[in-house]
Structures are given as C-alpha cells and as structure tokens.
Amino acid sequence: MIKSKLTLWIKKWLCKNVVYYSNAPYKFALNGEQKFTLVPTPVVSDESKNTALIQIVGRIHYSEQSENYPIGNKKELVNLIKINNSTVNNEPNTHNAYIIKALEQDQSKVTHWRFTGVPKAWLNLPETLLLSQTLKTEQVISSSVFAAMFVAQHQQSVFSALTSPLVNSAERFAAMFGIPCKHVINISDPTQYAQTLIKGLQAQPKQQLAAFFTLPSGLFTKAQLKKSAIIFSVFFGAYVALTCGYLMYKTQSLQSELAQNKGAVNQALTTLEQFQTSSDTLKTLQSFTQSQQISSSLFFVLHPLFLSAELSNIRFEEGRYVLRGTADKATNALQIIINNPRVNNAKFDYPSRKERRGESFVISFTLTTLQDQSMPIAPNTTREAK
C-alpha cells in the first residue's frame, strides 16, 4: 500500500513539473487507469509565471548531430565545443546542449542538440534522447503521434530523422545511418507515447541532466533582482555579524578556560617529567642488576664449614680469600673447602697449631663462579692442598 501511494505521488509530481512542447504546449496527466497521457494546455502570455522545470521538446524544434573528435582531454574538448557553439549560436531564442561520451583514450564521441523557438524552461530535453533510452540493440522506433519520425540508438549515439519522401520506412532510415534494424516499435497512440517518454526520462542518467540546464532569460525583472539582492545582503550581513560575534565569544571562552587550566597543565607536565626521570633511573638499575649475581659464591663455600669449625676472620688479599679459625682437626676443614667445586688452589698459609679449643688454621683459596652461570663447567681437577 505504501509503495502504491509513493508511486502515485511520483506520478503526480511528474505531471506537475514535466511538460511537452511540439508546436503547442502539452502537459502530462493521468487517465482513469493511472497511466500517463498528453493533453493540450492553453498558452500563457506571461511565461515567467509558468516556467516549467522539465520540458520535453519535439523533434521539429531542434537539430541533432553526432560527431567524433580526436581529443581525449575532456577540458580541451569542452573548450573547443564552446568555441564552435559561439560561432553558430547567433539567433534569438536559441541555445545548445551536448553530451560527451569517451570511446577510447584519444577519441571522443559528442552528440549535439540545437534548440530553436521553444518556451522557457529550466531543463530542455530532446524527445529523441528519451525515446532512445527505452531501446535495445537493433531496435527502431517509428512514431506518428505529433511528428512522424524514426529513432534509434547505436554505439552510444542517438540517431533520428523526420519522415520524408526519401526516409519513409524504418529500413531506409537504418540504411541511411548504417545501423542494424531487426525490430520496429510502432507508436501511434498519445498515451503510449507519453508512457514511453516518462519511461525514457526515468532511465536517463541523472548526471547528464546538467548538460540541458538553461537559465530562462527575463525570468527576473530588474526590480525583482534589486529586491532579492537587498534581502540577500541583509541576510548575509546578519549571518556574518552573528558568526563574528559567536567566534569572538568562543575565542574569549577558550582563552579563559586555557588560563584556568594552565596551572593544571604545568603540574601535569612536571609530573610527566618526574615520571620520565624515575623511569630512566629504573631502567638503568634494572640493566645493572640483571648482570649481577644474587649472592656471593663465598657463602656456598663457608656454609658446610660452619658445622665443623669456628671462623674468627675472613679477608680478601691479593685475589685470594683468607680464612682464620679453629677446628677439631684443621685438615678436615681444609678438605671440606677443597671438596667444594667453587674452590681453586686451597692451602694452609701457615702450619696449624694445637690450642685448648682445637687446632687453629689459616687457609687461603680462590673462587671460580662459572658454576653459577647458565652453562655448567667441568669439575675442578687442579685443586691441591699443602
């Protein structure tokens, strides 16, 4: 139901804004079957009050021509077309339109239309262009509704011709332009013709409609233009004033907010600087501690010795650890040290002496810490006791 209402609304809009002109004005209307048809409309003396949005122009009111240009640059091609149009567009109530279709890199095909003696409208569309949008390959329209003519479309170009003693059949028309003709569509009913025009209008690429735009001359009087200019100037001046006032207020507000947040921003920057300094210090300490051992290998040597001896002095002299203490047997203490794989060259520095608490000793040795690394080493076989 919604779709049918929307379709009906579109049809009514087209009837209101699209007209047809061929020696006389016609308007689109809906018949009892809700199909488009064309009905005559009275001629209005003041065209400025009844300027159509879209006007479909009959074939007798324009010339049509397709040309190939050896130009691939669209800007250069447009300038050339404008120069050509300026030399031939000297008659009053005449205007031109064209559509560019590129074929290859250095080749373009252009279809020209030159309208003469048509009422004012915002968009003047040639009827042959719309009729060609409804055709398939090798089809030709033979119409006898308003002006007898033939229409075809071939290789992105529109071909049309009014009926004449020489061109009095679709086959002769096709032979004249060298285009194939396998199916002829005959149109003799105004309702069918109106339906075909609307169908072609709907199929027409919308980006090409701008090529047919014409600003109706005399649409605005000098007094109307002056009044419109004054109204526009007032609105534009008010817009500029309001915009400047808003920008000044916004600038002042932002400056005030910036001043209020300046202290917080400075504190944040100071905190960020302190954090960066602490982070650098932490990274330096982490880099240093990663290369250090968790504990000294000396404690692994002394730990089993504490069970059988008492140490009174521990020194590090000339690259050797020196232990001074007492034990029940000094040789047992030396043997415990020698059995530790971390010890090298353990020996008595002085002969042991018997005392009341046992035998006193002075033992010295060197350490190797390779055992504490990730790769193990072979056992020490050079240890000796003296």
| Chain mean position to CA 4 | 37
My answer on whether 55 and 204 are in the same domain is: yes
Task: Tell me if 290 is assigned to some domain.
Answer: no
Note the pLDDT of residue 235.
84
Q: DSSP readout, 189-220?
A: -HHHHHHHHHHHHHHS-GGGGGGGB---TTSS
What does the pLDDT read at residue 308?
86
| 96 touches 112 (CB < 8 A) | yes
The 3-state DSSP class for residue 313 equals strand
pLDDT computed for residue 90 by the predictor: 60
pLDDT tens by residue, 355-367: 888 899 999 999 8
Assess if residue 15 is contained within a domain: yes
Residue 347 inside a domain? The answer is: yes
Cα distance between residue 366 and residue 263, in whole Å? 62
Contact partners, residue 216, CB within 8 Å, separation at least 6: 47, 48, 51, 120, 121, 122
Tell me which residue range forms the domain holding 118. 2-63+72-102+111-139+188-222
- Identify whether residues 344 and 205 lie together within a single domain: no
Which among 205, 222, 239 is the end of a domain? 222
pLDDT the model gives residue 139:
92
Give the lowest-confidence range in 107-111, 168-172, 290-294.
290-294
Higher pLDDT, 246 or 380: 246
CA torsion through residues 94, 95, 101, 105, sign = positive
DSSP class of residue 43?
P
Tens digit of each residue's pLDDT (9 = 90 or more) over 20-69:
999 899 999 998 888 999 999 876 655 556 788 899 999 999 999 888 88
Q: Which residues pair with 324 in a beta bridge?
A: 313, 362
Does residue 144 form part of some domain?
A: no
Name the nearest CA neighbour of 33 among 235, 239, 191, 160.
191
Give percent of the chain with pLDDT exceeding 90. Answer: 36
- Taking alpha carbons only, the member of 344, 279, 357 closest to residue 312 is 357
DSSP 132-172: HTT--TTEEEEE-SSS-EEEEEETTEEEEEE--SSS-SHHH
- Indicate whether 34 and 132 sit together in one domain: yes
Single residue among 174, 201, 222 that ends a domain in this structure: 222
pLDDT of amino acid 327: 92
CATH number at residue 360: 3.30.1360.100
Output the average pLDDT for the chain: 84
pLDDT tens for each residue of 324-343: 999 999 899 999 999 988 89
Pairing mode of beta strands 121-126, 52-57: parallel
Give the Cα separation of 199 and 187 in Å (integer): 14
Residue 233 lies inside a defined structural domain of this protein: no
212 and 302 housed in the same domain? no
pLDDT tens-digit profile of 184-236? 999 999 999 999 999 999 999 888 888 888 876 655 556 666 777 788 888 88
- 234 within a domain of the structure (yes/no): no
Query: Is the Cα dihedral 31, 37, 39, 45 positive or negative?
Result: positive
Total structural domains within the chain:
2
- Asked whether 367 and 322 are in contact (CB, 8 A), the reply is no
203, 222, 241 — which closes off a domain? Answer: 222
CA–CA separation, 300 vs 304, rounded Å?
8
Whether 380 maps to a domain, the answer reads no
Q: Note whether 192 and 321 are same-domain residues.
A: no
pLDDT tens per residue across span 118-144: 888 889 999 999 999 999 888 999 999
Domain-embedded: residue 8: yes
Higher pLDDT, 200 or 92: 200
